Structure 1
């Protein structure tokens, strides 16, 4: 494998990126989508369309040559964000209070199989979050994937509690937070 080049995108390129993001998703979740309605490509496409319309949506895609190897994307949470609506763990109210500039939600991070275990996911993660000006980031990890949860913990993320999004067939997630370095 050669070096991975990471390219940055924003909402203005979302429509052009959509087919690529859906293709990678369909490959990565091919097996899960056969039995889990939450992993269906159509359900993911709806979520992608909603996320990519949000102000501040950003995406990074890793390429080996002209082949996409993975990507990550997210957007800042608006005030009264529904993100925390499915939280099942009692937390202080200030933890879930959003201003529109406080929290960046890392919605998706995926790497195609041949590039797993190569550090690509960490590079995509870091490239997505490095330019962010928010105080913190949040993400959700499916509780059926304890290795992924441990990986995020090793990168400095902490678990806030259990969360089930108000989306049909949604699994139970760990809601996690990461303090972001403040930009000068």
Structure 2
């Protein structure tokens, strides 16, 4: 059912022109949550988008069905000494959270508009974003109140590292997850 979805790739150089589209899709997808959850506000998301898209190595994929954007995914490599792991609440060996700037790609956002959900579009976006990456692993955060999303990522090979609460006002409790990126060993 995803055969009609065309994936387009973008980099940080295109972030400013892409920003309105990303905000529009976010506002639609999170409309209900934003009414009661300050963490889901469009303003907070816009600040996060600006932060992420300014990072070296930021990449984004957007799926289109004709001229309609159906969803997107984006992220960036974690820099050396990244704050990403600062809210980790689970004890892990120190080496697990050591970042070099080229070790871990953080998948920050993956969202699909309602008409294209349960069509394989999320997996298509996920694969398109991560397949060209040369880092040894990827990481993402899943809100612990969304067990179906957590289970979906597990079915794609992600493993839970532990609980993490970002140091952002109103942030929920997340599962920090890791995924080995096997293509990194090809280089």
Residue in 1 aligned with 2:74?
Answer: 73
Matched, 1:165 2:166: yes
Q: How far apart in 1 are the matches of 2:46 and 2:9? A: 20
Q: Describe the SS at the equivalent of 2:36.
A: coil
Q: How far apart in 2 are the matches of 1:24 and 1:94? A: 37
Deviation track 1:21-52 (CA, whole Å, cap 9, x = no partner) reads: 00000000000000000000000000000000
Residue in 2 aligned with 1:56?
Answer: 57
Gaps of 5+ in 1: none
Residue in 1 aligned with 2:7?
Answer: 6
Equivalent residue runs for 1:13-162 within 5 Å: 13-162=14-163
**Stretches (4+) displaced over 2 A:** none
Give the structure with the larger helix fraction.
2
Q: CA deviation at 1:150?
A: 0.2
Q: CA deviation at 1:178?
A: 0.2
Q: How far apart in 2 are the matches of 1:110 and 1:95? A: 27
Q: CA deviation at 1:6?
A: 0.1
Deviation track 1:89-144 (CA, whole Å, cap 9, x = no partner) reads: 00000000000000000000000000000000000000000000000000000000
Q: CA deviation at 1:72?
A: 0.1
Matched, 1:174 2:175: yes
Q: How far apart in 2 are the matches of 1:115 and 1:65? A: 13
Q: How far apart in 2 are the matches of 1:117 and 1:154? A: 14
Gaps of 5+ in 2: none
**In angstroms, what is the RMSD of aligned CA positions?**
0.8
Q: How far apart in 1 are the matches of 2:133 and 2:139? A: 12
